[in-house]
Structure 1
Amino acid sequence: MHIVTILAVLQFFLFGILVGRARRQHRVKAPATSGHELFERAFRVHMNTLEQLVGFLPALHRYLYLADPAKCRYEFAFTVIPTFILSAAAIWSTVTRAAA
């Protein structure tokens, strides 16, 4: 299960890199999400993958919880800790920008 999760996330990041490459190649300036047809295709692949990950990754964690809840102590930390770090970073960014 863990390898499948890691591969799915790596695939998502790879697709993001390919979007960036298509953006440069076809001269689509950020934050535009339309322009050259080949850029738009790469962008849609990336967004469709994100849409599917939203359902796919929780389904994998649900499977683990149903299989043996005692083995889920680390999986919980792997999901909560990044959320906490990203929330703290967002708060820090908001506070420091407001102070500037």
Structure 2
Amino acid sequence: MLQQLPALVVLLSVLLMFGTMYAAGKAREKHSIKAPATSGHPAFERAYRVQMNTLESTMLFLPTLWLAVHYGFAAWAGVAGLVWVAGRIWYALAYLQDASRRGGGFLLGMLGWAAVVLMAVTGIARTLLAG
């Protein structure tokens, strides 16, 4: 069961990205921000930044998750991945309300990502030293 956790984390990450895309689209519509504009109403700008920050963060997170899984840390990487997802959801919800409240979610997400990076580095180093 725990070996499958990273796959669930990837699915949750995709759903999170869809959710932020949806929120940005709804804010664009609500505040009449015509594409390709990326500024206008502050609520739209927050939603847009949440979407972009989530995409940026996910591009760092997913490769390190799969490196950690590949090098023998599937269960622990899955747990750390759930922490990352929870942090990113907290971050997104807080940022959409008030940008100054995003810090806690950002920190939790970074802790999850740091744990995955540590596992990936450990696995790669262990393999290189044994080789």
- Normalising by the smaller structure, the TM-score range is 0.5 to 0.7
The match for 2:69 is 64
Letter in 2 for 1:36: H
- The TM-score, its normalising length taken from structure 2, stands at 0.50
Runs of 4+ in 1 over 4 A off after TM superposition: none
The match for 1:55 is 60
Counterpart check, 1:43 vs 2:48: yes
Letter in 1 for 2:72: A
1:65 deviation in Å? Answer: 1.1
Q: Which runs of 5+ in 1 are unaligned?
A: 69-100
Letter in 1 for 2:32: R
How many pairs align?
68
- Paired with 1:21 and 1:38, the residues of 2 have a C-alpha distance of 10
What percent identity do the matched residue pairs reach? 47
Q: Which runs of 5+ in 2 are unaligned?
A: 1-5, 74-131
The match for 1:26 is 31
1:63 deviation in Å? Answer: 1.0
Structure number with the bigger relative contact order (C-alpha 8 A, sep ≥ 6) is: 2
Mapping of 1:85-96 within 5 angstroms? none
Which of 1 and 2 has greater Rg? 1
